[in-house]
């Protein structure tokens, strides 16, 4: 298992998420639940965009959160690190939405 360590940019600047491609994989976004103990934000996308994604780990799993002004924060299903890292890559490539 590849550990996810904080390397993704600095606060205020991260990768930009491109427009999703037509064949992108839909993520089963759910209304965000109460924050877990020991959650760590290890990746985030650029905060100059209205929609910001965060990759969050807690214990042996994690999820992606999506925030947008005026919208309820939503989160992806919980995943183990490897599929979570894959999903994050897909998102940054515009291949998940």
Interacting residues with Zn ion (CB under 5 A): 46, 48
Tracing tokens 């490539």 back to the chain, one arrives at: 93
Nearer to Zn ion (CB atom), residue 84 or residue 92:
92
Shortest Cβ 68–Zn ion spacing (Å): 15
Shortest Cβ 35–Zn ion spacing (Å): 25
Nearer to Zn ion (CB atom), residue 7 or residue 34:
7
Q: What tokens appear for 73 in the block?
A: 């924060």
If we measure between CA atoms, which residue out of 39, 36, 47 comes closest to residue 8? 47
Shortest Cβ 45–Zn ion spacing (Å): 8
In sequence order, what are the residues at sequence separation of 6 or more whose Cβ sits closer than 8 angstroms to the Cβ of residue 80?
1, 60, 61
DSSP 68-89: -TTS--EEPPPEEHHHHHHHHH
């Amino acid at each position: 298992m590849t550990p996810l360590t904080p390397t993704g940019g600095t606060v205020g600047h991260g990768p930009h998420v491109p427009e999703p491609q037509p064949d992108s994989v839909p993520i089963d976004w759910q209304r965000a639940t109460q924050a877990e103990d020991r959650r760590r934000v290890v990746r985030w996308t650029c905060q100059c965009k209205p929609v910001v994604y965060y990759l969050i780990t807690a214990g042996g799993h994690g999820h992606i959160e999506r925030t947008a002004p005026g919208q309820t924060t939503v989160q992806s299903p919980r995943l183990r690190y490897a599929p979570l890292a894959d999903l994050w890559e897909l998102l940054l490539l515009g291949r998940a939405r």
